[in-house]
Structures are given as C-alpha cells and as structure tokens.
Structure 1
Amino acid sequence: MVASITAINLLFAVSLVTALPSSCPRGWIHRGTSCYLFVNDAVDREDWMVAMSYCNSLHAKLVEIETVTEDEFLRLYLLDHKMTGNYWIGMSDIQAEGVWVWTSSQNTPTYSNWNPGQPDNSGKEDCGSLPSWCGFHWNDYPCNMINNFICEKEVMSQEEIVG
C-alpha cells in the first residue's frame, strides 16, 4: 500500500514538472518557440563576428528570421520600443558572394524581407542586418561595423531551468 501511494505521488510530481510552462532567461523576450535578447547597450554593441560569438556564449545564435510572423514580431518589437540603429541578424554571404545563408545551419533562407534594392554589396557588405532607417527590413552591411544585435535561443522547459 505504501509503495503504491509513493508511486502515485511520484507520478503526480512528474506530471506537474512536465506540465509547467516553458520559459526564457531573465531579460529575454518569449515569442513562440524562441527567446530573444535585444542587445542595444552602447557598451555591448559589437561587429558581426563578435556578436555571433557573444550569442554563442549564451547558448544562442544571432537571430535567424524564418517566417513572416517572426519577422513582423521583431520589426514591431523594435518599432514599438523606439529602438534605433542597426541590428545584426545571423545571415551572411561571406562564403560565396550573393549566396546568403543562415550561419547556424548554412541553409539558404526560405523566407526573406530585403529592403528594396538590397542586398547590393555596396562596399563589401557580407552580413545581414535590420537597420532602423528602412523600418527594420533586411539590409546587407559591412561585417566589421559595430552594431546592436539580436540573439535567439529555443524556449527552455522548467526542467532545464531547475535542474
């Protein structure tokens, strides 16, 4: 009898843990299955490679915008919060000029939202960005420029947070 009560209590505890909502780390924004960190502090702004390394150090990646819904969320978040400047995204054509790929997977984007006339590779522009001057539509930009950036990681379950 005691063993069966213990088993029932254990089963109940496990179901509570798996039923807890998913979460993002403090300071990150939850949307869909992702968490986003908008890095726009003047001290933390970086060139594209350092921004990518920064995100990787957080077990994240530079944001990879895969759908119109994700793109609209990011654009509206940046506009609603009156953010300005350029924001790095995780796309480049560093490997082959004109062949844009997401850096974490090396896959060609199936969705894009380039600003009209972009990408234009004006002055060795090999990294993707979201600049405020064009309403945060995509633009190519020189990778060595210092910019804001957005990190993205998968939503964590409470089990991952707790232990």
Structure 2
Amino acid sequence: MFLKYACILECFGLLSICLAYKLYPIVTEDIPGNTNVTTGPFVRITRGYYFFEMNVKKNWFEAYQSCHLMDAELLSIETEEEWRDLNAYVQEFNIGEFYWTSGTDQGKIGQHVWFANNKPIDKAMWGPNQPDNANKMEHCVEYNWAKSKTGSWINDRPCEFQNRYICEARHPKTASFVVW
C-alpha cells in the first residue's frame, strides 16, 4: 500500500516539475559562428555551401545523381551576389574549369531553368551567342570561368558530355531550446 502512494506521489512530483518549466524551441538559419561544426566536403562561400568535384568527370545525369547521394543539388545560381561570390572563389583558388550546373531546358526546349527549383536562368550569365542549342542537342548548362580570359559565363552543352560538377547543399538550420 505504501508503495502505491509513493508511486502516485512520485508521478505528481514529476508532473509538477515538468509543468514548472516552459520549453521554448528556437530554429535559426545557418550555423552559428561560435560553434565548431565541420561542413566538409562542402566549402562555405558567403551564404552557401558548395562541393567542387574537380577529379572526376561525369555526364549531367550522373552528376545530378552524385549530388543527390550527398543530399545536395547541382548548382543553381539564383542571385547576382551568388554569381559574383562564386566567380571570386573560383578565381582566388584558380579552379577555373567547366562544371555542370542544374540548368536545363529539357522541360521545354529554349526555356532554360534551374532544375533544382524551376526558376528561370538570368540572361546576363550566358556567354556570347549562348544558349545556341548547337545541332539541337544542347540541353544542359555548364558553368565556366576561364583562366586565360576575363570573366565567366554559362553555356549549353549536350547532357551526355563529361564535365566536372558543383553540388550545392541545402542551408543548414540550428535548433536550440530555452528552458524557463
């Protein structure tokens, strides 16, 4: 009998402690600067996290699949700031080369979008006379920063072509709790 009363009192005690405190969840974008979190193999460039595959060349479909296996997407350049910062990074580390992006017009020929989010590609990023859909076979978009020339651009290319590629990770979120 005593054990029953003790268990009941213990339950009420735990319940009162739980009700005495309030939990406030806080979810923020990105990783706080004061934490020691490794983001490898992705590198942080301004607000984004990118993986540059510089050793293996794949066709667009294989590159897309490789990014997905890393829980990422092929690169989508959505803002002028992202374009500028990506170019600065590639120039600083001298890794100019052709890289697959998520850009494609496979959904509707002539209407190039970022496959990852279906947003139209900014016309200012295209190289001279691009996109040209040469031989009516170029439906995937590559990024290029030329070491010997000034600037960078994107170009349409046959999806079966072998290129390096850039994966873009989703923006991480940080969850924390305040107990009051």
Give 3-state SS (helix, strand or coil) of 1:95's partner: coil
Contact 1:64 1:91 in 2 (8 A): yes
Indicate yes or no: 2:137 matched with 1:121: no
Between the two proteins, what is the percent identity of the paired residues?
A: 27
Contact 1:119 1:139 in 2 (8 A): yes
Structure label with greater radius of gyration: 2
- The aligned counterpart of 2:82 is 70
Residue among 32, 36, 49 paired with 1:21: 32
Cα–Cα, structure 1 residues 24 and 61, in superposed 2: closer, same or farther, change >3 Å? farther
Unaligned runs of 5+ in 1: none
Indicate yes or no: 2:162 matched with 1:149: no
TM-aligned CA deviation for residue 64 of structure 1: 0.5
Question: Aligned equivalents of 1:128 and 1:18: distance in 2?
Answer: 33
Residue correspondence of structure 1 range 78-93 to structure 2 within 5 A: 78-93=90-105
Contact 1:24 1:30 in 2 (8 A): no
Pairwise CA RMSD of aligned residues?
Answer: 2.9
Residue type at the aligned position of 1:119 = P
Residue correspondence of structure 1 range 1-12 to structure 2 within 5 A: 3=17, 7=21
Cα–Cα, structure 1 residues 122 and 57, in superposed 2: closer, same or farther, change >3 Å? same
- The aligned counterpart of 1:137 is 153
Give 3-state SS (helix, strand or coil) of 1:87's partner: strand
Give 3-state SS (helix, strand or coil) of 1:82's partner: coil
Residue correspondence of structure 1 range 33-112 to structure 2 within 5 A: 33-41=47-55, 44-109=56-121, 112=124
Unaligned runs of 5+ in 2: 1-16, 176-180
TM-aligned CA deviation for residue 50 of structure 1: 0.5
Question: Aligned equivalents of 2:71 and 2:48: distance in 1?
Answer: 13
Give 3-state SS (helix, strand or coil) of 1:76's partner: helix
Contact 1:55 1:62 in 2 (8 A): yes
Between structures 1 and 2, the one with greater strand share: 2
TM-aligned CA deviation for residue 102 of structure 1: 1.4
Residue type at the aligned position of 2:58 = E
Contact 2:101 2:142 in 1 (8 A): yes
TM-aligned CA deviation for residue 111 of structure 1: 6.4
Question: Aligned equivalents of 1:114 and 1:103: distance in 2?
Answer: 17
TM-aligned CA deviation for residue 158 of structure 1: 4.6
TM-aligned CA deviation for residue 40 of structure 1: 0.8
